[in-house]
Each structure stands twice: as C-alpha cells, then as structure tokens.
Amino acid sequence: MAVYVDDAVTLWRGHRWAHLMADSLDELHAFAARLGLRREKFQHKTSGAHYDVPAVLREQALHLGAIAISRHTDRARMRAVIARAKAQGRGEAP
C-alpha cells in the first residue's frame, strides 16, 4: 500500500495546493492525520477521493514517505492513482 502526492500545485486562495491520495482510504486518512489534516477536509468526490494539501505540507508528506507522482513525467502511474481515487470516491474501492 502507498500514499501519493501529486505535483498539481494549483494556486487557490493565495496558496499552492496539491492532492494527497492513497491505495486505500484507511491509509489515506491515517497519513492525513500524521500531516495534521482534519478529517472534514477529506474530499470524498466521484472525481477522486483525496485531501488538498498546501505546498508546504506536500514537502512534509514527501519527507514522511509519500510517493511523488507527476502528471508530466509519470502519466501511466498518475492515471492509475487517479482511477483508484475515483473508484474510492464512488464507493467502489476501500
């Protein structure tokens, strides 16, 4: 099992944000808690189960062992992680 953080560092509300996703929802929530993210920040959507993380927490997530994934350099892995997150968001995966 693994936790992933993408490089989609999007500007929103004056901060840059990325997405934290995982192979399982339990692992995602546990890792998010280690980062200090509150459970109500969980994005449980059909577009993909994830937490939005500011750039500074992205770096901390990497330090704690999250795997960096990139829409630019590792498209196949990125598609697989997003597909899993979408299935989780639809309630089709753990």
> Is residue 74, in this structure, part of any structural domain at all?
yes
> Is residue 36, in this structure, part of any structural domain at all?
yes
Q: Which pLDDT value is given to residue 27? A: 95
> Is residue 67, in this structure, part of any structural domain at all?
yes
Predicted structure pTM score: 0.85
Specify the number of domains making up the chain.
1
pLDDT in tens, the chain (94 residues): 799 999 877 766 787 889 999 999 999 999 999 999 999 999 887 778 999 999 889 999 999 999 999 888 888 888 888 888 889 988 887 6
Distances in Å between the Cα of 56 and the Cα atoms of 15, 53, 61, 64, 67 are 10, 8, 9, 13, 15
> Is residue 94, in this structure, part of any structural domain at all?
no
Note down the domain range covering 37.
3-89
Distances in Å between the Cα of 38 and the Cα atoms of 26, 34, 81, 91 are 14, 10, 22, 21
Q: Which pLDDT value is given to residue 50? A: 92
Q: Which pLDDT value is given to residue 70? A: 87
> Is residue 24, in this structure, part of any structural domain at all?
yes
